[in-house]
């Protein structure tokens, strides 16, 4: 990012907020607190950090927010309510992405829903493919636990060797081994894709076998058992 010399604005991150309006879904605030609409639907950059369940003082009192830090043409912080559909769809999408994908630029897009709802949708800016997520079983999800998991995942990547001036490709090749549970989830992603299972097939099997609708709800023993089952199916299909 080019550094401009001379007088200019204070170099601080630009906050971006979510709100469904007739012609836009997010906005910035001027120094006088006046809203500045952002008419573009998407922001592309590198995600560098996420803070979840952050207590923020507002004129209505303390509230909990999620802050997503993105480095683009300048640093941005997308702030959304912890219980909002935007935050929840953001966490579901980020949880789906691999470590390598999180190292690369991503496109964060607003997607208006019914009433005042705004969803988040993440795209690969190279392939234009969106990250698919499912809302099935979301009412049973522990959103706080999911938020902490995603936060650790992202912050771990971008804190690794932060004092070294490595290129992006060098850094991605030297990421520390992720936690075993993250590896297990990644393995199931691979095997499910090789078996061409749909998300519905996976959820149905988990419900029948373990009485759970999500891999996040499985114990370590159960997810290892699930991996063994998928490997067996692959062997039988060869």
Q: Is 237 found in the same domain as 159?
A: no
Buried-state track 176-208, b at ≥16 Cβ within 10 A, e below 16: eebeeebebbebbeebbeeeebeeeebbeebee
Joined tokens for residue 53: 């369940």
Are both 153 and 40 inside the same structural domain? yes
- The total domain count for the chain is 2
Identify the segments of the chain with pLDDT beneath 70.
Answer: 1-2, 158-181, 238
* 165 and 183 assigned to the same domain: no
Same domain, yes or no, for 45 and 158?
A: yes
Ramachandran bin of 128, using left for φ above 0, alpha for ψ from -120 to 50, beta for the remaining angles: left
pLDDT, position 125: 92
Residue 9 lies in a domain: no
User: Quick one: what percent of the chain has pLDDT higher than 70?
Assistant: 88
Q: Quick check: is 1 in a domain? A: no
The tokens for 150 are: 């995603």
Q: Are residues 158 and 57 in the same domain?
A: yes
Ramachandran sector of residue 61 (left: φ over 0; alpha: ψ -120 to 50; beta: rest): left
Provide the pLDDT for residue 222: 84
- The pLDDT assigned to 64 comes to 93
Instruction: Please write the tens of the pLDDT for every residue from 201-216.
Output: 888 899 999 898 888 8
pLDDT digits (tens, 9 = 90+) for 40-63: 999 999 999 999 998 988 777 889
Round to whole Å and give the CA distance between 206 and 185.
14
Domain membership of residue 2 (yes or no) is no
pTM for this model (two decimals):
0.65
128 and 73 in a common domain: yes
Domain match, 200 and 139 both: no
Q: Are 56 and 50 in contact (CB under 8 A)?
A: no
Angle between helices 85-96 and 143-159 (to 10 degrees): 50
User: Domain range holding 213?
Assistant: 179-238
Residue 94 is predicted with a pLDDT of 93
Q: Are 91 and 83 a contacting pair, CB within 8 Å?
A: no
């Amino acid at each position: 990012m080019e550094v401009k010399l001379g007088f200019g604005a204070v170099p601080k991150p630009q906050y971006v907020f979510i709100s469904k309006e007739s012609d836009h879904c997010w906005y910035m605030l001027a120094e006088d607190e006046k809203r500045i609409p952002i008419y573009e639907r998407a922001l592309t950059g590198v995600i560098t950090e996420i803070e979840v369940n952050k207590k923020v003082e507002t004129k209505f009192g303390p509230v909990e927010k999620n802050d997503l830090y993105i480095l683009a043409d300048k640093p941005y912080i997308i702030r959304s309510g912890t219980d909002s559909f935007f935050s929840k769809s953001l966490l579901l999408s980020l949880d789906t992405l691999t470590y390598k994908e999180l190292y690369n630029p991503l496109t964060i897009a607003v997607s208006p829903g019914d009433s005042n709802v705004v969803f988040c949708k993440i795209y690969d800016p190279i392939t234009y493919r969106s990250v698919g997520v499912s809302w099935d079983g979301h009412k049973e999800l522990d959103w706080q636990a999911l938020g902490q998991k995603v936060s650790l995942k992202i912050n771990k990547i971008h804190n690794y060797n932060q004092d070294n001036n490595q290129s992006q490709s060098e850094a991605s090749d030297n990421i520390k081994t992720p936690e075993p549970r993250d590896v297990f989830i990644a393995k199931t992603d691979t095997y499910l894709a090789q078996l061409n299972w749909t998300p519905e097939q996976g959820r149905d099997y988990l419900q029948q076998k373990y009485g759970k609708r999500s891999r996040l709800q499985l114990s370590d023993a159960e997810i290892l058992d699930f991996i063994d089952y998928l490997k067996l199916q692959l062997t039988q299909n060869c």
